[in-house]
Structure 1
Amino acid sequence: MTPKVFERMSRYVYEQVGIKLTPAKRIMLEARLQKRLRTLGFDSYEQYAEYLFTARGQQEELQQFIDVVTTNTTEFFREGRHFELLAQKVLPRWRSQFGTSRAMQIWSAGCSFGMEPYTLAMVLADFAERNSGFVFSVLATDISARALQHAQRGIYDEERVESIPESFRKRFLLRSRERARKLVRIAPEIRHLVTFQRLNFMEDFSFRTPMDVIFCRNVIIYFDKPTQERLFSRFCESLRPGGYLFIGHSESLTGMSLPLEAQAPTVYRKV
C-alpha cells in the first residue's frame, strides 16, 4: 500500500468513524484488507481504494471496510474490578434511591462481540434474584455489523468463557449437544435482557431516557484527544445526574472539562 493510498484511506476512516490511523498502522491495515482484496478479485490496494470511493463501493463495501478497520478485542469479566464495584456499590445505591419505581438503564458502548453486555446482564440478573422488584435493561451498541451479528447469536468457544465465575457458568450458559464442537451459548433469559443496535459515535445520538450507567471501555483510545473530549461530553449528556461512567484502564479524562467526579480509578459519577 503506497503512502498516498494509506493517507486517503486513513483520512476517510477519520471522517467516517473518528478513528485516527497513524502511519504506523499501515502494515496492520494492509494485513486486514488482504482478504477483502481476494474476495473482490483486486490485485492491488490502489484498485480497492478506487472501488471503495465509487458510489457502488460506498453502497456495497463501506460496511465491510469499517468492519475490517475497527478493532474488536474483548472478553467476559474484563477488568473485573469494575463489575465488583457495580455489584457491591452502584446497584445497592441505585436500588435504595429508586426502589422498584423504574427500570435501571445501562449502556455498553462499543460492545464488540457481546462479552461486556452479557457480563453486565449476568451481574444484574444475579442482583435481581436477590432483590425482588429490581428491573433493568442493557443496550449494547457497536459500529461493526459483523461484531453485532456474532454478539446476537451469543455463541462462544468454551475457552472464551473460562473467565466467567463458575456459579454464573452453571446458571447462565448452555453447552452444545455436540460436545466435540466445544461451544457454549448464553442462556435465553440472559440474551433477552440485551438489546443490540448499530451506532456510529460520529453521528448524532440521543436516548429518550437518560442512562444510569455507561460502560465505554477501551474504545476511546482509538480517537484523537479533541474527538475523545467531544464524545465524553456526549456521554455525559446521555447520563442522568448521579449516574456512573466506566472507562478503560488505559484511558484518561485528564485535562477534560466534564461534569464528572472520580469514584475509583476509571470510574466516574455525574455531578
Structure 2
Amino acid sequence: MEAFSVEHEFDFTDKHFAKIRAFVTAHTGIVLPDTKKDMVYGRLSKHIRQRHQGSFDSFCEAIDNADAEEQDCLINAITTNLTAFFREKHHFDFLKNTVLPELLIKNKQTKRIRIWSAGCSTGEEPYSIAICLYDFFRDKPDWDVKVLASDLDANVVKQGESAVYEAIRVKSLSENELKSWFERGTGKNDGLYRIKSPIRSLITFKRLNLLHEWPVSGPFDVIFCRNVVIYFDKATQSVLFSRFAEKMSSKAYLLIGHSESLFNVSDQFEPLGHTVYQRKES
C-alpha cells in the first residue's frame, strides 16, 4: 500500500520516488526520507509537465538511461540553495579578526592563502569570503590569496560566476557596503548589483561533486562547508570530512552550518565553538 500524500496533478508513485531517491543518494549523498516525497514532486512537476507530458515514467526511464541532461535537472532540482551575504556573521567576524591576522604570520614565507567554499550555491558565501580578503589585503598586493567556490548544481555555479544580484539579495547590506563592494546597474540593469572586479578576481568557480574525485590541489587554510552535510548520512559525512582533512594545512580551519556537528563523525578536528573547528596537527 502506498504512503499517504497530497493529491498530485501527475501520477507520482512510491516506485517513482524510490527510483529518484536512490539516484539522488548515489550521486549526491543526500538522503531523502519518505516525508520528502511531496517536496520532490513539487520541485520536479514543472519539468515533468514541460518535457515529459506529465509522465514520471518517462522521466525515470531517462534517468535509468543515463540521460545527462535529465540527470543534471534532477540534481539541480533537489539540491537546496538557500544563502545570503554574510550569513552566520560570526563566521566572517572570526575570519577577519582571528584567522587572517593569524595567517599573516603563519604564511609570511609563502604569502599564499587558499580558502574553499564547498557548496557555494549562488555565490553569496564565496563573495563574502572574498570581500573579507579584499578588505584585509588591500594594502598587501604581494600576497597571493584565492577562493575556490564549488557546487554540484551547474545553474547556481553559473549564477555565481555572473556576480550579478537583484536588489532583494543585497538588502541586508548597508549603503556604504554596497558602494564599496558593488557596481550599481543603470538603464536596463537598474535594480541589479554586480560585485566589483577586484573582488571577483579572487574567486574561481567550479562545478564539483563532493562525493567524486576532486580536481583541486590545496592545501587549504580554511574550508567553509556550511549547511551541506546535514543532508548526508553519518558514514558519508565521515568520509567527506576525512577527505577535507587531507586537503588542509596543519591547524587549518573548518566552518560548518549552525545545525551541523562533527560529534561521532570525525576526530581529526578540534571544536572551537560556534561551529568552528581546527584541524589537529598532523
Instruction: Give the TM-score normalised by the residue count of structure 1.
Output: 0.94
Asked if 1:229 is matched to 2:251, the reply is: no
Q: CA deviation at 1:264?
A: 2.6
User: Do the aligned residues in 1 keep the contact of 2:96 with 2:132 (CA within 8 Å)?
Assistant: yes
Which residue identity is paired with 2:21?
Answer: S
Asked if 1:152 is matched to 2:167, the reply is: no
Cα distance change of structure 1 residues 72 and 48 upon mapping to structure 2, 3 Å threshold: same
Residue 22 of structure 2: aligned partner? 11
Of residues 99, 114, 121 in structure 2, which corresponds to 1:90?
99
Asked if 1:79 is matched to 2:88, the reply is: yes
- Cα deviation, 1:202-228, whole Å, max 9, x if unaligned, reads 102263231010000011101111111
Q: CA deviation at 1:16?
A: 1.0
Asked if 1:27 is matched to 2:38, the reply is: yes
Which residue identity is paired with 1:222?
Answer: Y
Residue 126 of structure 1: aligned partner? 135
Of residues 241, 253, 256 in structure 1, which corresponds to 2:250?
241
Which residue identity is paired with 1:184?
Answer: Y
Of residues 48, 69, 74 in structure 1, which corresponds to 2:59?
48
User: Do the aligned residues in 2 keep the contact of 1:99 with 1:134 (CA within 8 Å)?
Assistant: no
Of residues 174, 183, 202 in structure 1, which corresponds to 2:183?
174
Residue 217 of structure 1: aligned partner? 226
Instruction: Give the TM-score normalised by the residue count of structure 2.
Output: 0.91
Cα distance change of structure 1 residues 141 and 5 upon mapping to structure 2, 3 Å threshold: same
In structure 2, list runs of 5 or more residues that go unmatched.
Answer: 1-11
Cα distance change of structure 1 residues 130 and 166 upon mapping to structure 2, 3 Å threshold: farther
SS at match of 1:256: coil
Q: CA deviation at 1:166?
A: 4.1
User: Do the aligned residues in 2 keep the contact of 1:75 with 1:116 (CA within 8 Å)?
Assistant: yes
**Quick one: distance in 2 between partners of 1:61 and 1:107?**
29
Which residue identity is paired with 1:198?
Answer: R
Residue 47 of structure 2: aligned partner? 36
Residue 66 of structure 1: aligned partner? 75
Asked if 1:113 is matched to 2:122, the reply is: yes
**Quick one: distance in 2 between partners of 1:83 and 1:65?**
32
SS at match of 2:138: helix
Residue 183 of structure 1: aligned partner? 192
User: Do the aligned residues in 2 keep the contact of 1:95 with 1:134 (CA within 8 Å)?
Assistant: no
- Cα deviation, 1:37-62, whole Å, max 9, x if unaligned, reads 1221422222221222124xx23311
Q: CA deviation at 1:34?
A: 1.1
In structure 1, list runs of 5 or more residues that go unmatched.
Answer: none
User: Do the aligned residues in 1 keep the contact of 2:116 with 2:223 (CA within 8 Å)?
Assistant: yes
Cα distance change of structure 1 residues 84 and 30 upon mapping to structure 2, 3 Å threshold: same
User: Do the aligned residues in 1 keep the contact of 2:147 with 2:203 (CA within 8 Å)?
Assistant: yes
User: Do the aligned residues in 1 keep the contact of 2:52 with 2:58 (CA within 8 Å)?
Assistant: no
Which residue identity is paired with 1:92?
Answer: P
**Quick one: distance in 2 between partners of 1:233 and 1:206?**
17
Residue 136 of structure 1: aligned partner? 145
SS at match of 1:61: helix
**Quick one: distance in 1 between partners of 2:165 and 2:266?**
40
Residue 113 of structure 2: aligned partner? 104
Cα distance change of structure 1 residues 165 and 134 upon mapping to structure 2, 3 Å threshold: farther
Residue 207 of structure 2: aligned partner? 198
User: Do the aligned residues in 1 keep the contact of 2:222 with 2:253 (CA within 8 Å)?
Assistant: yes
**Quick one: distance in 1 between partners of 2:265 and 2:189?**
51
Single out whichever of 11-20 and 34-43 deviates more from structure 2: 34-43
Percent identical pairs in the alignment equals 40
